[in-house]
Amino acid sequence: MTATMMTATSGKTTCPYCGVGCGVNLTLPYSANEAVPPVSGDLEHPANFGRLCVKGSSLAQTIQSDDRLLTPMVGGHPVAWESAIKTVSAKIAQVVKDHGPDAFAFYLSGQILTEDYYVANKLAKGFIGTANVDTNSRLCMASAVVGYKRAFGSDTVPCNYEDLELCDLLIMVGSNAAWTHPILYQRIAAAKKQRPNMKVVVIDPRETATCDISDLHLAIKPGSDAAIFSFLLSDSVQAGILDQGFVTNHTNGFKAALAQANESTPSLSLTADFCGVSEQDLASLVDWWRDTAKTITFYSQGVNQSSSGVDKCNAIINCHLATGRIGKEGAGPFSITGQPNAMGGREVGGLANQLAAHMDFATPGAQDLVQRFWQAPNMATKDGLKAVDLFQAMEEGKVKVVWIMSTNPMVSLPDTAQVRRALEKCELVIVSDCKAHTDTTVMADVLFPATGWSEKDGTVTNSERRISRQRGLLPAPGEAKHDWWAICEVAKSLGFQSAFSYQSIHEIFAEHAALSAFENNGRRDFDIGHFSQISKAEYDALIPVQWPVPEGRPEGTKRMFEDGRFFTPDGRARFIGITPSFPKSRASQEWPFTLNTGRVRDQWHTMTRTGDAASLAKHTAQPYVEIHPKDAKRLAIKDKALVRLTSPYGEALLKAKVSRAVALGNVFAPIHWTQQFANASVVSNLIPQVVDPLSGQPESKHAQVRLEAVGGI
Ligand code: SF4
C-alpha cells in the first residue's frame, strides 16, 4: 500500500457515472486483497438506499490508473503549473485582443462538478466576455431542457424517483434504463413486483433488457415517438379524461395544440401505421392511459437525440398537462439525464444559451443582474455557440483557443473527422483530464492534470434535482489539481484577481447559491439561497437535498408544480403544437440501413475510466453491430463476422451480432469504443452533424449507413 493511500479518509461520496447519482461509501485505505469491498452503496442516500450497479460497485478498480496525467504538459513536455498557466493566459489574452472574446471557448462536461462549471461560466461570460461555454451535456439532454422551458417557463424536472415507484402506469420512452440507469430500473422492478397491477410500457425501436419488466413493448419505427403522444392528446379529449379545470386554470394554448394533434394523428389506425406498430398494441397503451391517473412518462436519449427532440418532449408534456397528471404523487413527465452532473451544469449556466442560475440572456433584466452580482467587467451579451456549431466555427478559424475539460469529443461528438479538422485548425487546444492518453488529449497543445473521482471535491445534481456531495477522500496524485483551481489560476493570470480568489470550494458553492437568490425574491424556479452563507463545516457535512432550497426551507422540494403554478410570466404552463416528423437521416437506396446508437451495461461513455476495470469488460468485451437475421442472411453476414459500416461521413469496422432485437432495415451499435480501445471502430465516425434546431442536440440515434461483410470470425 502506498503512502498516498495511507493518508486517505473514508467517507460518503456520489457515483461519477450516470444521472441516477447514487450515494457511495468509500472505505479507505484499501488494497486489492481487502476482504471488505472498498466501495459500497450508501444506505442513507435517497437515490439508491444502499444499492449499486455493477459500474458503481467496480469504482475501486478505476481509482489507480496506470495512465494518469501527473504533470502539466506544454507542447508534449512536462512543465510547472505556473508556466503552463502563463502560456494559456497569454494566448487567451492575445486572441481576445486580436479577434475578440468569441475567439475563446470552453467545452465542458457533465462529469465536472457544479463548482467547476460555475467558475468556468463566470470567467467566460463575465470576464472574458464570451458565451462560448458549451458542454457534452448538449449531446444528452439539451432537448429536454428546451422542452421543459417551452412548457413550464423554466428548466424544471417535476418528479422524483419515489414517483416512479408510486405510479400505476410507467411509460418508458427511448430509454434502456436496465443498462443505462440500472438503479432506477431496479427500483422500478422492485415496485412492480410488489404491486403486480402496475403497468410498464416500453416505447423503443429495439427490444432491450428494459423490456424484461414491460407489459407492452411498442417497437416503433425509429423517431416516430411524437405521434403516439400526439394521438394520446387527441384521445384524451375523445375519451373524456381531459382535466378541464386544470387546463382552464393553469395552462395556455390547449385548443391550438389539440387542433394540431387532431390533424397530425386523426385516428388510432393511422397513428399505428405511422409508428409501425399494431393497432392492438397501440390500443392497449391508449386504454391504460385512459384508465390510469397515476402515470409517469420517463424519457431519455431516445427522445432527446433527434432533429425533433424538443417537439417530442413537448408532445409528452402536452399529454400530462391535458390530463392534469403533473405535480401529483406518481404522475408527471420525467426526463432522466445521462450524466452525473448534467443537471448541475444546467443550474449554473453551463450551456452556451444560458447565463447563470437558470437565467438566460433573453430573461428580462438577467444580464444586468448577473453583471452586478459578479461585478463583471466584460459581460457577454448574447448566446454563444452550441457544441456542433462550436467545432464548426473552430474549423472555420473563428474559435482560436478551446479549453476542453473532462470529455473526449474526438469520440463522442458526431462526425469525428470534422472534429479532428477543427482541433487541428485551432491555434491552442487545452485539455484538462485525469488521463494522459485519450483520443482528445493527443490533440492537445497544453494538458492540465486534473483530479479524478474520489479526489475531486464539490457537488453534483442528479436527475431528480438532488444535490449531493462528491468528496475528495484521496489526495491528488502527482501535480494533479482540481478543475476549479486551474480555471481560477488562469483567471487571475488574466488580471481578474479578486473575483477568482477563492480559498476553498465551499466559497464557490456559497456564491452560486447567493446568485440564485440575488435580488430575486419571489422567483421560485431555481433558488438555493438557503446555502448562501454555508460554512466549510456545513458544506463538508451536506446531506443530499432537492432544489429549490430557498431561505427558510432547508428540507428542499420533493415535487414541483403541486400548486399548479408554473414559471411563465402568467404562471400558466404552455401547450406546444406538435407535428410529428421522422428523423432527418433516413434510410435510402444508397444508404439502406438506419443506425441506432446507445450504450452497453458495463461501460461508461468513451471508456476512459470503465476501461480500467477488467471485470467490466466481461459483459461486453468488444464493439459490435446488431443486425436482424434476415438482413444478415441477405448480405451474407455471419454472426461474429467483421462488418464494415459506411455512412456519408466515415466508416467503422464492427463485429456482427445477429439478433432479432433490431427490426429489419435497422442496426444498432454501442458508442463506447475509441481509437484507444478498438482502432477503426469509432461509431461517431458515422453520425451526421444534424441537430435539433431548437436545442442544438445532435441526432445521434439516427444515421444512414450501408453494410458490407468483411469476413473473419
Ligand atoms: Fe452509478 Fe448510475 Fe450505477 Fe448508480 S446506477 S451506481 S449512479 S452508474
Please write the tens of the pLDDT for every residue from 380-397: 999 999 999 999 999 999
Interhelix angle for 225-238 vs 279-291, to 10°? 50
Query: What pLDDT does 5 receive?
Result: 42
Pick the atom of ligand 1 nearest to 20's CA. Answer: 7
Contact between 247 and 254 under an 8 Å Cβ cutoff? The reply is yes
Indicate the range of 480-494, 530-544, 592-606, 621-635 predicted with least confidence. Answer: 592-606
Closest Cα to atom 3 of ligand 1? 53
Classified as helix, coil or strand, 501 is: coil
Percent of the chain with pLDDT over 70: 96
Write the pLDDT tens digit of every residue in 246-275.
999 999 999 999 999 999 999 999 999 999
User: How many angstroms is it from 432 CA to the middle of ligand 1?
Assistant: 24
Residue 522 has pLDDT above 90, yes or no: no
pLDDT score recorded for residue 4: 38
By most ligand atoms within 8 Å of CB, the mutation choice from 14, 15, 58 for ligand 1 is 15
What's the start-to-end Cα distance of the chain, in Å?
42
701 has a pLDDT exceeding 80 = yes
pLDDT band at 524 (very low <50, low <70, confident <90, very high): low
Q: Which of 24, 53, 179, 184 best tests ligand 1's pocket when mutated (most atoms within 8 Å of CB)? A: 53
Ligand 1 atom nearest 604 alpha carbon? 8
Whole-number Å distance between alpha carbons of 634 and 631: 5
Cα–Cα distance between 529 and 527 in angstroms, integer? Answer: 5
Percent of the chain with pLDDT over 90: 86
Which of 50, 67, 68 has the alpha carbon at shortest distance from 12?
50
Query: In 3D, which of 174, 182, 151, 218 has the Cα closest to residue 54?
Result: 182
Q: Are 306 and 583 in contact (CB under 8 A)?
A: yes
Given a contact cutoff of 8 angstroms between Cβ atoms, the answer to whether 163 and 330 are in contact is yes
Q: What's the mean pLDDT in 129-147?
A: 96
Q: How far is the CA of 601 from the centre of ligand 1 (A)?
A: 11
Q: How many separate helices (H) and strands (E) can be counted in the chain? A: 24, 28
Ligand 1 center to residue 510 CA distance, Å?
27
Burial class (CB in 10 A: 0-12, 13-18, 19+), 511: buried
pTM: 0.95
pLDDT band for position 678 (50/70/90)? low
CA of 203 to the centre of ligand 1 (A): 23
More reliable by pLDDT, 342 or 708: 708
Sign, CA dihedral 654-656-662-666, equals: positive
31 CA distance to ligand 1 centroid (A)? Answer: 23
Q: Cα–Cα distance between 560 and 169 in angstroms, integer?
A: 20
As a whole number of angstroms, the distance between CA 597 and CA 180 comes to 13
Expressed in angstroms and rounded, the spacing between residue 604 Cα and the centre of ligand 1 is 10
Nearest atom, ligand 1, residue 182 CA: 5
Please answer whether residues 313 and 304 qualify as being in contact, where contact means their C-beta atoms are separated by less than 8 angstroms. yes
**Mean pLDDT throughout 577-587?**
93
CATH code that applies to domain 593-711: 2.40.40.20
Can you give the pLDDT at residue 523?
A: 62
CA neighbor of 547 nearest in space, from 122, 158, 22, 162:
158
Predicted pLDDT at 3: 34
Atom of ligand 1 nearest to the CA of 17: 8
CATH code reported for the domain at 3-62: 3.30.200.210
Architecture of domain 142-336: 3-Layer(aba) Sandwich (3.40)
Atom of ligand 1 nearest to the CA of 47: 4
Distance 141 CA to ligand 1 centre (A): 18
- Mind listing the pLDDT tens digit for each residue in 37-70? 689 999 999 999 999 999 999 998 888 888 999 9
Distance, in Å, from the CA atom of 168 to the CA atom of 170, rounded to the nearest integer, reads 7
Would you say residue 183 has pLDDT above 50?
Answer: yes
Domain 73-137+349-546 CATH assignment equals 3.40.50.740: yes
CA of 495 to the centre of ligand 1 (A): 41
Q: Which atom of ligand 1 is nearest to the CA of 21?
A: 7
Contact, 323 vs 243, CB < 8 A? yes
The whole-chain average pLDDT of the chain stands at: 94
Amino acid letter, 362: A
C-alpha 698 – ligand 1 centre gap (Å): 25
CA 57 to centroid of ligand 1, rounded, Å: 9
What's the rounded mean pLDDT across residues 555-564?
A: 96
Residue type, 694: L
Q: Whose CA is nearest to atom 6 of ligand 1?
A: 56
* Rounded CA separation 97/89 (Å): 12
Distance CA 591, CA 584 (A): 13
Q: How far is the CA of 338 from the centre of ligand 1 (A)?
A: 10
On the question of pLDDT at 1 being above 60, the answer is no
- Which of 17, 188, 470, 616 has most ligand 1 atoms within 8 Å of CB, for mutation? 17
Helix (H) or strand (E) holding 264: helix 254-264
- Residues 503, 485: Cα–Cα separation, whole Å: 10
Cell digits of residue 102: 468569441
Mean pLDDT, residues 516-536: 85
Determine contact, residues 171/298, Cβ cutoff 8 Å. Answer: yes
Is 7's pLDDT higher than 70? Answer: no
Report in angstroms the alpha-carbon separations of 214 from 2, 171, 606. 48, 9, 29
Domain boundaries of the chain, sorted by first residue: 3-62, 73-137+349-546, 142-336, 593-711
Which pLDDT band, with edges at 50, 70 and 90, does 35 fall under? low
Q: Quick one: which atom of ligand 1 is closest to the CA of 41?
A: 6
Among 563, 196, 130, CA closest to 384: 130
CA–CA separation, 376 vs 368, rounded Å? 10
Mean pLDDT of 25-43: 78
Residues touching ligand 1 (Cβ under 6 Å) are 15, 17-18, 20-22, 48, 52-53, 55-56, 181-183
pLDDT at 213 over 90: yes
